[in-house]
């Protein structure tokens, strides 16, 4: 059909005008509906209908008091912060004091809550047994024995001679007893240990009519004698070295070896108490002490790993400077040092005297701690749930240990007054400095040593 057909042209014209009219009507009705809705929303007397949008209520005005408090608080916080920034060092100091004081209070409360005495049997008698190996006349041994006895333990001190047994009996304490063990006689020592083991396993009746109870072996405490030979290595006789290792190391190992079956069976504690300053600093002129304590440290480390599977805990207590009162006076130490130096030849004296005197004076300026600190460390090693591997007690024990581990060797030598091996005297007779024969202006005259006529 051709596009010039009059019917098609008429139909297209009607369709166009009708569509245009409908579009204009839609726009008009939409404009009217929008206007009516806006008028209805602005009119308050018209009841609410679902299509009407209710405006949200305005927020309540803030109270005057709250606003004032907020403003005042903001200003107060700003003032406090400004003061803290201006006095930061004072605040840091106060914080350290508060934190340290709080930690100290918490530690003291925890210590008060711990068990500090031995357990008793059901009949009220003592039942926990400890054995101490050491010289009965040693101050640490005596103090430790008396402290443990006061806390309710039955204390045995291992002795090897009749004289030492009499020293223990002279203490006059019913619960501090000697335990005869002759280290030099292997068969006799094993027989003594066997009798002691049978004694622990046998029922004990504390008094007539009381029910029997069994004893409990709680700890073995090893306290080697703290007296070591000192001096330049070239002046220490070999028999002194042999005696040192036999008395300090071999005897300690022998006692440990004998008691290990009882210790592992009872799951007891093993505690070693040794001097700590000389070994920590590798103090010159104290080679026997450093060698013996160093060897004992290796033994303790190996032993700890060996017996840990059996439930045995091993602790090592390093002792610093102690206040022994009248037992060991400074004057007596100075006299002993003077006697040592004067026993050397003039050549040896000219090289080593000053360094030896300085090394013997280490710790003299430090006020010694009380023996109660050692007693407390021993009690903690016996009664605490977990034993510390290393415990440092006594003045200087921590400081000297840190110095020995972290401070360079040259600085440590300077602190000890050493001179790197140089001669400390000069030769007035014309011999070259450093010769073995120089004697004039020697050290003994500079420090007013008395000459001893041989």
**Domains and their CATH numbers in the chain:** 128-323+368-405 (3.40.50.720), 329-366+423-454 (no CATH)
Q: Which residues does the chain have with pLDDT short of 70?
A: 1-11, 15, 17, 21, 25-26, 28-29, 32-33, 35-77, 89, 104, 107-115, 325-332, 363-366, 417-454
| Residues in CB range of 341: below 8 A, 6 or more apart | 349, 353, 356, 357, 443, 444, 449
Tell me: the pLDDT tens digits for 5-36?
A: 655 666 677 767 677 767 776 676 677 667 66
Radius of gyration of the chain (CA): 44
Structure tokens at 219: 């700890």
Looking at residue 434, its pLDDT comes to: 38
Whole-number pLDDT of residue 37: 66
Q: In 3-state terms, what secondary structure has residue 18?
A: helix
Are residues 344 and 235 in contact, defined by beta-carbon separation less than 8 angstroms?
A: yes
Global pTM? 0.68
The pairing of beta strand 154-159 with beta strand 269-275: unpaired
User: Is the Cβ–Cβ distance between 124 and 355 less than 8 Å?
Assistant: no
In b/e form, how buried is each residue of 5-35, taking b as 16+ CB within 10 angstroms?
eeeeeeeeeeeeeeeeeeeeeeeeeeeeeee
Q: For residue 292, what pLDDT is reported?
A: 94
User: Would you list the DSSP string of 129-191?
Assistant: EEEEES-TT-HHHHHHHHHHHHTT-EEEEEESSHHHHHHHHTT--TTEEEEE--TT-HHHHHH
Q: Which helix (H) or strand (E) holds 318?
A: strand 313-319
User: Residue 220 is inside which H or E element, if any?
Assistant: strand 216-222
* Residue 258: per-residue pLDDT: 94
Residue owning tokens 């090893």? 222
Is-contact 144 168, C-beta < 8 A? Answer: no
Give me the pLDDT at residue 130, please: 96
CA dihedral 151, 157, 163, 169 (to 10 degrees): 30
């Amino acid at each position: 059909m051709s596009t010039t057909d009059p019917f098609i042209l008429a139909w297209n014209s009607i369709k166009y005008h009708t569509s245009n009219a409908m579009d204009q009507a839609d726009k008009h009705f939409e404009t009217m509906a929008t206007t009516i809705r806006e008028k209805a929303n602005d009119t308050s007397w018209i009841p609410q209908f679902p299509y009407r949008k209710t405006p949200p209520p305005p927020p309540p005005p803030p109270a005057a008091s709250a606003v004032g408090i907020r403003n005042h608080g903001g200003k107060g916080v700003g003032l406090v912060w400004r003061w803290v920034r201006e006095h930061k060092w004072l605040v840091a100091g106060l914080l350290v004091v508060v934190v340290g004081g709080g930690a100290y209070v918490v530690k003291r409360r925890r210590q008060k809550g711990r068990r500090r005495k031995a357990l008793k049997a059901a009949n009220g008698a003592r039942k926990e047994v400890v054995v101490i190996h050491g010289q009965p006349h040693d101050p640490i041994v005596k103090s430790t024995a008396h402290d443990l006895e006061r806390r309710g333990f039955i204390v045995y001190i291992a002795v090897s001679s009749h004289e030492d047994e009499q020293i223990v009996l002279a203490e006059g304490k019913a619960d501090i007893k000697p335990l005869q063990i002759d280290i030099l006689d292997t068969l006799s020592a094993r027989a003594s240990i066997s009798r002691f083991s049978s004694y622990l396993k046998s029922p004990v009746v504390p008094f007539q009519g009381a029910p029997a109870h069994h004893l409990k072996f709680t700890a073995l405490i090893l306290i080697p004698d703290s007296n070591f030979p000192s001096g330049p290595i070239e002046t220490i006789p070999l028999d002194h070295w042999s005696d040192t290792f036999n008395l300090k190391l071999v005897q300690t190992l022998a006692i440990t070896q004998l008691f290990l079956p009882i210790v592992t069976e009872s799951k007891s504690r093993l505690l070693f108490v040794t001097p700590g300053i000389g070994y920590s600093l590798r103090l010159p002129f104290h080679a026997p002490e450093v060698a013996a304590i160093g060897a004992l440290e290796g033994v303790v480390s190996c032993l700890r790993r060996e017996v840990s599977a059996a439930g045995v805990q091993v602790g090592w207590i390093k002792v610093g400077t102690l206040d022994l009162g009248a037992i060991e006076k400074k004057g007596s130490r100075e006299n002993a040092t003077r006697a040592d130096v004067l026993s050397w030849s003039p050549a040896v004296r000219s090289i080593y005297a000053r360094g030896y005197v300085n090394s013997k004076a280490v710790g003299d300026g430090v006020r010694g701690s009380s023996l109660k600190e050692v007693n407390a460390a021993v009690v903690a090693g016996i009664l605490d749930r977990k034993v510390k591997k290393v415990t440092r007690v006594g003045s200087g024990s921590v400081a000297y240990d840190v110095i020995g581990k972290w401070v360079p060797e040259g600085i440590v030598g300077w602190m000890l007054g050493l001179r790197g091996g140089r001669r400390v005297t000069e030769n007035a007779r014309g011999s070259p400095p450093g010769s073995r024969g120089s004697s004039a202006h020697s050290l003994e005259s500079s420090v007013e040593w008395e000459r001893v006529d041989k």
